[in-house]
Amino acid sequence: MFNRSLVPILLLLMVAFFVWQRQPAEDSLLSRTALVMGTLVEIKAYGDDRELLEQGLDAAFAEMVRLEQLFSTHIPKSEVSRLSAADAPLIVSEETATLLGLGLKIAQRSDGAFDMGLGKLMPLWGVESDQPQVPEEQSIALALKGIGPDSLQISEQQVRKQTPGLQIDLGGIAKGYAVDRAVEKLRQAGIFSAAVNAGGDIRLLGDRQGQSWRIGIQHPRKAGEIIATLALQNRAVVTSGDYERYFEQEGLRYHHLFDPQTGRPARGCQSVTVVAADAASADALATAAFVLGPQKGLALLERMPDVEGFLIAADGSKLATGGLKDILEWH
């Protein structure tokens, strides 16, 4: 059995990384990296005022740390942990209500391929632990009880679980939301050229000093190689793949992207990359499209407004939405 811990993967094989051509002047760039929400976060910002850049990055990282206190399942007093523990309706913060509302919308649009109620399933597999395992079918069935697009009801900031004992996990959307909030803090600080990369969840603010940002997407089967490059401005790009967090047993790869219908890792894709206006939507849609598989996943992205993307199927074939024609370069 082989397990790959999260941090070394992020250090060595970033899901998506910046491809630089002609570098702007180094004295106009401020770059900082920190471990937040269990992932390596890098923020790059450009500007002439060094103090303003420092303040902007301080605010951006502080916001991501604050949101981690709300959304983390590893923090007992987080709102997500409290929601999982409570069977009565719970009043939550505006941020948590907003994020849950977006997650439910994408769950409904994807016919349940994206699901925030897999909090009992994740520990059964222990993909990110030191002792991952393939659980018994009976345990999987119990963990899936009560999940689905109608598992939560939200009225303003009051959240009600439809099934007692349902455990919430926002791992497929919270990181993207935190990236969006970090970008908003940079904007509020007066920064208009920046990029936030949280382990492959990327949000771009403006352009890169008059040029498009060039984002290289990790090849899902060739470590350290790029499978495609995207030229983007003012967009979010998120990649979900079966090479990020996984273990192998008896020659089979078991990864962290679970199909809510089966409780097992989805098998149709190697990776999915989504381009959208915000990273939270891109994050959830990348998971949903991966679970749906190549054809249904592509159809989901095609019918979502202001969303593009491409998928690498399990057999290595490539599919892309029509709107990527002018900004996507295959390698």
- 226-275, pLDDT tens digit by residue? 999 999 999 999 999 999 888 988 888 999 999 999 999 999 999 999 99
The crossing angle, in degrees rounded to 10, of helices 174-188 and 50-71 is 150
**What's the predicted TM-score (pTM) here?**
0.91
Tell me which of 95-104, 134-143, 181-190, 244-253 is least confident.
244-253
CA angle 42, 47, 49 (to 5 degrees): 110
Domain 71-161 falls under CATH 3.40.1260.20: no
Question: What is the model's pLDDT at position 325?
Answer: 87
- Eight-class DSSP state of 311: E
What is the pLDDT averaged over residues 116-122? Answer: 96
Residue 319 tokens read as 């599919």
255: left (phi over 0), alpha (psi -120 to 50) or beta: beta
Q: 26 pLDDT exceeds 70?
A: no
Euclidean distance between CA atoms 6 and 17, whole angstroms: 16
Return the percentage of the chain with pLDDT > 70, whole number.
92
Return the percentage of the chain with pLDDT > 90, whole number.
85
Residue among 69, 9, 3 at smallest CA distance from 36: 69
Residue 217: phi and psi, rounded to 5, are: -100, 125
What is the pLDDT averaged over residues 23-47? Answer: 87
Confidence bin at 5 (pLDDT 50/70/90): very low
Residue 50 tokens read as 């060094």
**Pairing of the two strands 226-232 and 29-36:** unpaired
| Four-residue CA torsion sign, 252, 288, 297, 201 | negative
Euclidean distance between CA atoms 15 and 242, whole angstroms: 11
Question: What is the model's pLDDT at position 330?
Answer: 96
Euclidean distance between CA atoms 83 and 102, whole angstroms: 17
pLDDT by residue (tens digit) across 39-93?
Answer: 999 999 999 999 999 999 999 999 999 999 999 999 999 999 999 999 999 999 9
pLDDT by residue (tens digit) across 177-234?
Answer: 999 999 999 999 999 999 999 999 999 999 998 999 999 999 999 999 999 999 999 9
* Contact in structure between 215 and 54 (CB atoms under 8 Å): no
**What radius of gyration do the chain's Cα atoms show?**
19
What is the pLDDT averaged over residues 289-304? Answer: 98
Euclidean distance between CA atoms 320 and 298, whole angstroms: 7
| Four-residue CA torsion sign, 34, 38, 40, 44 | negative
* Contact in structure between 203 and 185 (CB atoms under 8 Å): no
- Eight-class DSSP state of 211: B
Q: 2 pLDDT exceeds 50?
A: no
Euclidean distance between CA atoms 18 and 138, whole angstroms: 44
Confidence bin at 27 (pLDDT 50/70/90): low
* Contact in structure between 104 and 149 (CB atoms under 8 Å): yes
Euclidean distance between CA atoms 217 and 208, whole angstroms: 18
Kindly list the distances between the CA atom of residue 4 and the CA atoms of 125, 243, 245, 266, in Å, as whole numbers in the listed order: 14, 9, 6, 19
